[in-house]
């Protein structure tokens, strides 16, 4: 990738956008929360047909960490998507969100229901919006025969137990990572190894608006989004599961859900051809 393009947000924060590939632009919003966009890579080879405009959310990657930490909350990150769209001249863009980045994308779409040509929501989360993820325990249990399972399952249980020191939480999340991939092979391990260097703890900590935030107005507004929406999930996603995909799709007027067999939370890593094919087919239609 070349040097990033910098966009100035409404509050003066400098945002980095990395261009990769050639063709129709896809504005890509990473998750984590708090993870730099580099983990998105080439999105399974989509850069061969599209220009990936990879946004480092404020406080991550090459983007500036603002003095106003409340601006790290995901509804404020949605304003940055709008700033990037305008600055780059992306008229009715295709916006791709991953994981926590789906919340940012949804918040932007709710505020601008006719602005996008299409949305692609990859492995959206459910816990923050109160959606059940009932298939996660079974997806995890199906991996019980793998050598890493016992340590990962124990770490997952401890992470559910409540507040933990930052250092311990980081170690447990590292041990839990195999659940996020369809196969814990060298490709997945290499992808996971970059997590710490790509994460901003401040951006992670600032992402959630807090217990008083009401998600209902944003979620209800999604029914007014006019563009087609593709939700992509993996049937081996041990973080958010696959059932959540249909729930998220049901919030939109024109949405479909594709489940990638053998894929986890990062389907472009586990099954790059199937992932890229699903996105290309959707955008061709």
CA terminus-to-terminus distance, the chain: 29
Q: Which residues are within 8 A (CB) of 281 and not within 5 positions of it... i.e. 6 or more apart?
A: none
Pairing label, strands 94-98, 24-29? parallel
Asked whether residue 166 is assigned to any structural domain, the reply reads no
What are 32-65's pLDDT values in tens digits? 999 999 999 999 999 999 999 999 999 999 999 9
Asked whether residue 21 is assigned to any structural domain, the reply reads yes
Confidence of residue 246 (pLDDT cuts 50, 70, 90): very high
Cα distance between residue 45 and residue 275, in whole Å: 9
Q: Determine the pLDDT at residue 161.
A: 79
Asked whether residue 80 is assigned to any structural domain, the reply reads yes
The percent of residues in the chain predicted with pLDDT above 70, rounded, is 99
Whichever domain contains 124, its CATH number is: 3.40.50.1820
Mean of per-residue pLDDT scores for the chain: 95
Residue 79: cis peptide before it, omega within 30 degrees of 0: no
Residue 166 has pLDDT above 90, yes or no: no
Residue 1 has pLDDT above 70, yes or no: no
Asked whether residue 25 is assigned to any structural domain, the reply reads yes
Asked whether residue 125 is assigned to any structural domain, the reply reads yes
The CA dihedral of 163, 169, 175, 178, to the nearest 10 degrees, is: 80
Range from 34-43, 70-79, 106-115, 163-172 carrying the lowest mean pLDDT: 163-172
* Strand order across the 255-260 sheet: 5-8, 14-21, 50-55, 24-29, 94-98, 118-122, 229-234, 255-260
What are 182-236's pLDDT values in tens digits? 999 999 999 999 999 999 999 999 999 988 899 999 999 999 999 999 999 999 9
**Residue 69 sits in which domain range?**
5-142+180-284
Residue 285 has pLDDT above 70, yes or no: yes
The reported pTM is 0.96
Asked whether residue 175 is assigned to any structural domain, the reply reads no
Task: Work out how many domains the chain is built from and give that number.
Answer: 1
Asked whether residue 172 is assigned to any structural domain, the reply reads no
Residue 108 has pLDDT above 70, yes or no: yes
The percent of residues in the chain predicted with pLDDT above 90, rounded, is 90
């Amino acid at each position: 990738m070349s040097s990033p393009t910098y966009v100035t947000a409404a509050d003066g924060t400098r945002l980095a956008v990395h261009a990769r590939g050639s063709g129709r632009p896809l504005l890509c919003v990473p998750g984590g929360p708090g993870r730099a966009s580099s983990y998105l890579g080439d999105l399974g080879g989509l850069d061969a047909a599209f220009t990936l405009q990879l946004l480092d959310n404020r406080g991550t990657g090459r983007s500036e960490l603002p003095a106003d930490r409340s601006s790290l909350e995901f509804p404020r990150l949605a304003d940055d998507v709008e700033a990037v769209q305008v600055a780059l001249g992306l008229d009715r863009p295709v916006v791709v969100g991953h994981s926590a980045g789906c919340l940012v994308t949804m918040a932007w779409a709710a505020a601008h229901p006719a602005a996008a040509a299409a949305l692609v929501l990859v492995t959206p989360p459910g816990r923050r919006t109160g959606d059940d993820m009932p298939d996660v325990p079974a997806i995890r249990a199906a991996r019980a025969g793998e050598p890493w399972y016992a340590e990962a399952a124990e770490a997952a249980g401890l992470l559910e137990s409540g507040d933990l020191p930052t250092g311990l939480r980081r170690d447990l999340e590292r041990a839990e990572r195999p659940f996020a991939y369809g196969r814990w092979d060298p490709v997945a391990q290499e992808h996971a190894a970059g997590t710490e260097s790509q994460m901003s703890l401040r951006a992670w900590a600032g992402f959630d608006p807090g217990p008083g935030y009401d998600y209902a107005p944003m979620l209800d507004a999604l029914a007014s989004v006019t563009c087609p929406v593709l939700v992509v999930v993996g049937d081996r996603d041990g973080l958010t599961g696959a059932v959540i995909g249909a729930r998220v799709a049901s919030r939109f007027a024109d949405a479909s859900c594709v489940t990638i067999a053998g894929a986890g939370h990062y389907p472009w890593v586990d099954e790059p051809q199937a992932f890229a094919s699903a996105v290309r087919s959707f955008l061709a239609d």
